[in-house]
Amino acid sequence: MRLATAQKVHYDSGPNMTPLVDIVMVILIFLMLTGTLIRTQFFRANLPVTTGGEKAVEGGLTLPKDVKIEVRVDSVARRDEPDDLYVRINNQRDVIQTDADLVRILKGLRLSLMQEQKKSDDEIQVIISPGRFVKYQTVVRVLTAANEAELKKVAFGTSH
């Protein structure tokens, strides 16, 4: 004697996925709408791409060469004073105790370039080159100091 249940077709369809798909679509639409309303700010690098010095432009004119201030941030820190900035500005190594000292040095460089060499703010280029093991927090401190020193053209160089 055969059982009646053995003759019924049995489908193993699993759980109903329709509510899950509906919820995921609502979340996706919500994220798409809110994602376009939020402004993301990135570090703006305006270091010109050059392969070898000044580039000629149309009409035979050459672009003015910017005066470069190279700021190299080193990663060597002492354990007793971990907040020191080890900065080399134009190949002169300094241990700067506070961010205000760095702002003062950068402002002094900016003012001396403007007065002695008659350079405008648009002709002074600051290049921040961090060391391989420098923390992002330290790079942001140097960037903030350059902004407080009213230097307009700040770029990031390669690590050393």
Average pLDDT over residues 92-105: 81
Q: Is the dihedral of CA 138, 152, 125, 148 positive or negative?
A: negative
Domain membership flag for residue 80 = yes
Position 57 pLDDT exceeds 50: no
* Among 124, 130, 131, CA closest to 149: 124
> Does any domain span residue 20?
no
Residue 41, domain member (yes or no): no
Predicted confidence (pLDDT) per residue in 100-144, tens digit: 888 998 998 888 888 888 888 888 888 888 888 888 888 888 999
Is 46 in contact with 153 (CB distance < 8 Å)?
yes
134: domain CATH number? 3.30.420.270
Determine phi and psi for 95, rounding to 5 degrees: -105, 115
Residue 104 lies in a domain: yes
> Which domain does 65 fall in, by range?
58-156
7 domain-assigned: no
CA distance 35 to 28: 10
pLDDT at 39 over 70: no
Backbone angles phi, psi at 132, to 5 degrees: -65, -35
Does 90 reside within a domain? yes
Q: Is the pLDDT of residue 61 over 50?
A: no
Structural domains in the chain (count): 1
Does 87 fall in a domain?
A: yes
Q: Are 113 and 119 in contact (CB under 8 A)?
A: yes
The encoded tokens of residue 112 equal 């001396």
Q: Kindly tell me if the per-residue pLDDT of 9 is higher than 80.
A: no
Identify the DSSP state of 62. B
Asked if the structure places residue 4 within a domain, the reply is: no
Provide the strand spans (E) within 23-152. 67-74, 85-89, 92-96, 124-130
> Does the pLDDT value for residue 77 go beyond 90?
no
